[in-house]
Chain A
Amino acid sequence: MSDTTGAEKRANAGTKKRKMGNSVQDHATLADTFNKDEERVEWHDNTLWWIRQKRDKAAHGIIEWEELRETASQIKNNVLSNLSEYLGQFEARAKENGIIIHWAADAKEHNEIVHGILQRLSINRMIKSKSMLTEECHLNEFLEQRGVEVIDSDLGERIVQLAEEPPSHIVLPCIHKKKEEIGQLFHEKLGTPAGNADPQFLTEAARQHMRDKFLTRRAALTGVNFAVAESGEFVVCTNEGNADIGAHLADVHIASMGIEKIIPERKHLGYFLRLLTRSATGQPITTYSSHFSTPRAGQEMHVILVDNGRSIHLGKPDFRNSLKCIRCAACMNTCPVYRRSGGHSYHTAVAGPIGSILAPNLDMRKYADLPFASTLCGSCSNVCPVKIDIHDQLYKWRQVLVKEGHAPALKKAGMQGMTLTLNNPGMYRFAGKAGRWFMRNVPFVLNNKMNPWFKQRDMPEPPKQSFTDWYKKNRKP
């Protein structure tokens, strides 16, 4: 957690110098930091669980909910199996509509395309609505290094941008921040009165602050929720209207999308739009579901189709169906580990269970810890609107990572010790006896900070005898 009261004033309101960007710590270490403030963990946990409950209420209000999930899942299966066709079809239709199409093999190419468009038009200030893909590509940092100012227009993203942090949640970027911290941040950066932490007041202050940005920026970048192959249109969903107000005022609209965002037909939108926000926040639909088909008169409209590892990922039978994700975040809101460790502990653009199965495709070594940040309880798979087998993939990733030699040394040593013990009945009996003796006679050997099982838990009462001893005594013929 960053301490906003200590935030340095030197930071320009438009720049993003992130405090957590260079972190090399793993999930467990970062979660430890988050867990130091128990009250905050409790609050974070309860807030997200409340959103999960709103999702349940919305889902239970639709009799055909499970059929919708199944249909959406099958549509996405079809998309993955025919993606090369659909990409070509989308490109052709979109071009007919007057949209300029770009292809980016990786993050760098994506960032260079954006920069190239801005350079050609001599634009050095851009407004950007929510796009997890640009987080994945680190677009803001790339552009800022080249003298282009980027302002995030979603309120939650603007808040974390002012705080120089990455978003901690894909739908609720500043879910980890308390309103008092946001009040203090706005006081420092936007000049609101000190001590005012009223959400209504702070939102109005942000509205005033952002109006000017919308009116003066000539370039707007948005994400894409769905791109329709048959019509060449793309759909962007927001509650705030920030994607629209930015795009409709700008001379140039750039929309960045992962190649997996394609759906075959317009009528399929009906299924996804019914599922998306009900799964995300429990709303029946986002305030705005905007369908962009052609640029407005005098405007340039660009779509950048980004691969960045997705086409390789598609070739992995055990893991490819995570590409079906529609980014609702239901798996995060329900995850007992996410709720109690916070989004920043995942050190990746998309946190939580889905992020933990997506990230290792990009960089197995860097994200080797993430598939272990789970209890494998399966709640994520149960709420996923497109039926991704998230917890199975977490389990499968662990096997791949251990085989490839990415398991943490301590875990490896522990597993080897267990293998030895469980393969050797004499040693097994001795270990059991020794454990019971230590717990009874010198509990401090185990009940200390060195033992991870003692953290936030009391150790159990040691049993008087082992099961084998009990069995021998009671079941002897």
Chain B
Amino acid sequence: MSSRDAIISRVKQNQPPPSPLPQLTNYDQHYEDLLQQYISILRFIGGEAHIVNSYEQVANILRGSFQEATRIISTVELTGLAAEIRPDIGDPHELENVELFITTSNLAVAENGSVWLRDEQLLARALPFISQQLAVILPKESIVATMHDAYDVIGQARYGYAAFVAGPSKTADIEQSLVLGAHGPKSFTAFILV
């Protein structure tokens, strides 16, 4: 017998009698102001947040922080910011020198400050991890209260790869001292369009 069949048959023989799945609820709640909750949690976990009215405003804020000739990749056109817009990415190793990656999200979670990013918003799966900084633009309406609500929005959608990303890459492995920028981006900025 193959290992597969042996494992499955042992499991079948040893598993306990059927135990039903529980009733699920979304615990309708919680926050009076989703936007403020999202922002305060994002700041708590080391991210930055700006409320903006337009892409122009996003470009202005970013221009202030990235004046030198650094490599910026963006999924959206940002007038006045020297960025490669949706470039063709062959080998992800060539992304090593990316300083800033800007993308959009249509789903954010107030209870934990995360945004949901899918393949098509990433250009390359490695990009939001290898870039030194990450910026995400999201409409205010995309913020939901909890992870239950988030999975309701995601539903049965098909994707190759997707991730909840909450703030900058971080570690506290050395004596529990929090350091932002472990292996991934050192900063995470959300631009919330209102």
Would A47 and B163 count as touching, CB distance under 8 A?
A: no
Would B183 and A288 count as touching, CB distance under 8 A?
A: no
**Residues of B contacting A155 with CB < 8 Å?**
171, 173-174, 182-183
Tell me which residues from 3 to 58 in chain B have a Cβ below 8 Å from any Cβ of chain A.
Answer: 3-4, 6-22, 24-25, 27, 29-30, 41, 45
CB distance from B39 to the nearest CB of A (A): 14
Once the chains are docked, how many angstroms separate the CA of A320 from the CA of B111?
A: 33
Would A314 and B14 count as touching, CB distance under 8 A?
A: yes
User: Which of A104, A215, A239, A289 lies in contact with B171, CB distance below 8 A?
Assistant: A239
Once the chains are docked, how many angstroms separate the CA of A240 from the CA of B179?
A: 10
CB distance from B176 to the nearest CB of A (A): 6
Over the window 187-203 of chain A, the binary record of Cβ atoms lying under 8 Å from chain B Cβ atoms (1 yes, 0 no) is: 00000000000011011
Contacts A64-B27, A293-B159, A294-B160: A307 and B7 contacting too (C-beta < 8 A)?
yes
Q: Does B193 contact A (CB under 8 A)?
A: no
Q: Which of B96, B159, B170, B184 has the most CB of A within 10 A?
A: B184
Q: Which of A80, A87, A199 has the most CB of B within 10 A?
A: A199
Would A289 and B96 count as touching, CB distance under 8 A?
A: no
Contacts A84-B15, A287-B165, A291-B159: A248 and B22 contacting too (C-beta < 8 A)?
no
Would A179 and B184 count as touching, CB distance under 8 A?
A: no
Contacts A63-B29, A242-B182, A311-B7: A287 and B168 contacting too (C-beta < 8 A)?
yes
Q: Which residue of A lies closest to B95 (CB)?
A: A249
Would A284 and B41 count as touching, CB distance under 8 A?
A: yes
Would B177 and A200 count as touching, CB distance under 8 A?
A: yes
**Residues of A contacting B163 with CB < 8 Å?**
244, 288-291
Over the window 213-250 of chain A, the binary record of Cβ atoms lying under 8 Å from chain B Cβ atoms (1 yes, 0 no) is: 01100000000000000010000000111101101110
Over the window 104-118 of chain B, the binary record of Cβ atoms lying under 8 Å from chain A Cβ atoms (1 yes, 0 no) is: 000001011110000
Over the window 443-463 of chain A, the binary record of Cβ atoms lying under 8 Å from chain B Cβ atoms (1 yes, 0 no) is: 000000000000000000000
Once the chains are docked, how many angstroms separate the CA of A104 from the CA of B129?
A: 31
**Residues of B contacting A437 with CB < 8 Å?**
none
Would B183 and A241 count as touching, CB distance under 8 A?
A: yes
Over the window 68-93 of chain A, the binary record of Cβ atoms lying under 8 Å from chain B Cβ atoms (1 yes, 0 no) is: 00110011011011111001100100
**Residues of A contacting B148 with CB < 8 Å?**
267, 270-271
Q: Which of A179, A259, A281, A285 has the most CB of B within 10 A?
A: A285
CB distance from A398 to the nearest CB of B (A): 23
Once the chains are docked, how many angstroms separate the CA of A262 from the CA of B20?
A: 16
Q: Does B98 contact A (CB under 8 A)?
A: no
Would A87 and B183 count as touching, CB distance under 8 A?
A: no
Would A81 and B41 count as touching, CB distance under 8 A?
A: no
Would B184 and A87 count as touching, CB distance under 8 A?
A: no
Would A81 and B3 count as touching, CB distance under 8 A?
A: no
Q: Which residue of A lies closest to B184 (CB)?
A: A241
Interface residue tally for chain B (C-beta within 8 Å): 74
Contacts A182-B174, A207-B183, A244-B125: A289 and B21 contacting too (C-beta < 8 A)?
no
User: Which of A105, A178, A244, A292 lies in contact with B6, CB distance below 8 A?
Assistant: A105
**Residues of B contacting A153 with CB < 8 Å?**
183
Once the chains are docked, how many angstroms separate the CA of A175 from the CA of B177?
A: 11
Q: Which of B12, B159, B160 has the most CB of A within 10 A?
A: B160
CB distance from B71 to the nearest CB of A (A): 16
**Residues of A contacting B130 with CB < 8 Å?**
245, 248-249
**Residues of B contacting A178 with CB < 8 Å?**
175
**Residues of A contacting B158 with CB < 8 Å?**
293
Once the chains are docked, how many angstroms separate the CA of A312 from the CA of B162?
A: 35
Would B7 and A105 count as touching, CB distance under 8 A?
A: yes
Would A248 and B92 count as touching, CB distance under 8 A?
A: yes
Would A245 and B183 count as touching, CB distance under 8 A?
A: yes
Q: Which of A77, A203, A210 has the most CB of B within 10 A?
A: A203
| Additional 11 contacts, C-beta under 8 A, given A75-B21, A287-B45, A296-B160 | A63-B27, A77-B19, A159-B173, A182-B174, A241-B129, A248-B129, A249-B92, A287-B167, A293-B161, A296-B161, A315-B14
Residues of A in contact with B (beta carbons under 8 Å apart):
47, 50-51, 63-64, 67, 70-71, 74-75, 77-78, 80-84, 87-88, 91, 103-105, 109, 153-156, 159, 172-175, 177-179, 182, 199-200, 202-204, 207, 210-211, 214-215, 231, 239-242, 244-245, 247-249, 259, 264, 266-267, 269-271, 273-274, 281, 283-296, 305, 307, 311-312, 314-315, 317, 320
6 pairs of A and B residues whose beta carbons are closest in the complex? A241-B184, A315-B14, A240-B182, A156-B173, A284-B112, A248-B126
Residues of B in contact with A (beta carbons under 8 Å apart):
2-4, 6-22, 24-25, 27, 29-30, 41, 45, 92-93, 96, 109, 111-114, 124-126, 129-130, 146-148, 150-152, 154, 156, 158-177, 179, 181-185
Interface pairs (28), CB distance under 8 Å: A47-B175, A74-B21, A80-B15, A82-B18, A153-B183, A156-B171, A159-B174, A178-B175, A179-B175, A199-B175, A203-B174, A203-B181, A239-B171, A241-B184, A244-B129, A245-B183, A249-B93, A264-B21, A267-B151, A284-B41, A284-B113, A287-B166, A287-B168, A287-B169, A290-B163, A291-B161, A311-B10, A312-B10
